[in-house]
Amino acid sequence: MPSAPSSTPAWKQEPDVTEGTERATGRTAIVTGASGGIGAGIAAMLGRRGYGLTLTARRQDALDAVAADLRGLGSPHVLVSPGDLADEATPAAVVAAHTEAFGGLDCLVLNAGVGSAGAIGSYPRHRFDKTVAVNLSGPFELLQQCVPLMRATADPATGRGARVVALASITGRYAEPGLAVYGATKAALISLVATVNTELSAEGISATALCPGYVETDMTLWVRDRVPAAQMIRTDDIVRLVEAVVDLSPQAVVPEIVISRAGTSGYEA
């Protein structure tokens, strides 16, 4: 096989899944925020590894493009279920679509998120509500509705677990001026992940919060004048960590991974 150009992210190189492999592994995942950025990278990695996928985000055209790419890389079982995570109806619709197509769930990737900078003193209430809805309430609803599916799938006795991977943020761990609301939602997500482990890990369902500093995606375009893209964490770095986590046995619980940027104190985005 010819080698891919060096600019191609590692998770897109050397597709090693042929049609039918997903049926052989029988593993499936739901990925939120899969229409771009980190979520699209995670979806591609899981698809390459043979997971049947349900992809969700608001933009159907972007989801369709990601799904078409994945099929081109050898992932035949990719479902698109668009919706706004701030809408109360979305989690149920996504879970219903996934259940009908696949019947079980090995991996729930809570990746969709929004954030905007603003001082506490002047942060508008409507932006607070939207950030909480997308970053916390929606993920909680989706998680809650996925627990029965993951319970039905996980069987620690046979070495099969189910994983939740949540994209939190380093700001959820270390407060940063101007990021109060975003950071608060991410801190809550980290706490939610920890509770999943206390409640469900004995049943083979465990969760990991990834807490990166600035990653080179559209979300960080606003800060590029201060932090150049070359100094940001690569999407591929996050994808590789997710890949490592989903490969662990159900006996290994990883509550949290902080990824800081080289050249910083390690306690800042």
Q: Find the shortest distance in angstroms from Cβ 178 to ligand NAP.
A: 14
Q: Find the shortest distance in angstroms from Cβ 150 to ligand NAP.
A: 20
Q: Are 184 and 233 in contact (CB under 8 A)?
A: no
Q: Is 267 a catalytic residue?
A: no
Q: Are 189 and 139 in contact (CB under 8 A)?
A: yes
Among positions 64, 84, 237, 256, the unique one binding ligand NAP when judged by CB under 6 A = 84
Part in contact with ligand NAP (CB under 6 A); list of ranges 13-21, 116-124, 214-222, 241-249:
214-222
Residue 86 interacts with ligand NAP (CB under 6 A): yes or no: yes
Size of interface with ligand NAP, in residues (CB under 6 A)? 28
Q: Are 33 and 235 in contact (CB under 8 A)?
A: no
Give the pairing type, strands 78-80 and 52-56: parallel
Residue 62 interacts with ligand NAP (CB under 6 A): yes or no: yes
**Buried/exposed 195-230: b ≥16 CB within 10 Å, e otherwise:** ebbeebbebbbbbbbbbbbbbbbebbeeeeeebeee
Q: Find the shortest distance in angstroms from Cβ 175 to ligand NAP.
A: 14
Radius of gyration of the chain (CA): 18
Instruction: Quote the Cα angle for 89-95-189, to 5°.
Output: 80
Q: Find the shortest distance in angstroms from Cβ 33 to ligand NAP.
A: 3
Residue 36 interacts with ligand NAP (CB under 6 A): yes or no: yes
Spell out the residues 6+ positions from residue 231 whose beta carbon is closer than 8 angstroms to its own: 214, 261, 262, 263
Distance (Å, whole) CA 222 – CA 181: 17
Residues 223-262 that bind ligand NAP (CB under 6 A): none
Residue 35 interacts with ligand NAP (CB under 6 A): yes or no: yes
- Here the tokens at position 21 are 């492999």
Question: Looking at 51, 123, 174, 182, which residue is catalytic?
Answer: 182
Among positions 9, 10, 12, 58, the unique one binding ligand NAP when judged by CB under 6 A = 58
- Here the tokens at position 243 are 């890949």
Q: Find the shortest distance in angstroms from Cβ 115 to ligand NAP.
A: 5
Q: Find the shortest distance in angstroms from Cβ 200 to ligand NAP.
A: 22
Helix (H, G, I), strand (E, B) or coil at 28: strand
Other Cβ atoms closer than 10 A to 132: 16
Part in contact with ligand NAP (CB under 6 A); list of ranges 96-104, 116-124, 141-149, 213-221:
213-221
Give the contact letters, 102-141, x = binds to ligand NAP (CB under 6 A), - = no: ---------xxxxx------------------x-------
The site for ligand NAP (CB under 6 A) is made up of: 33, 35-39, 57-59, 62, 84-86, 111-115, 134, 167, 169, 212, 214-215, 217-220
Catalytic residues: 182
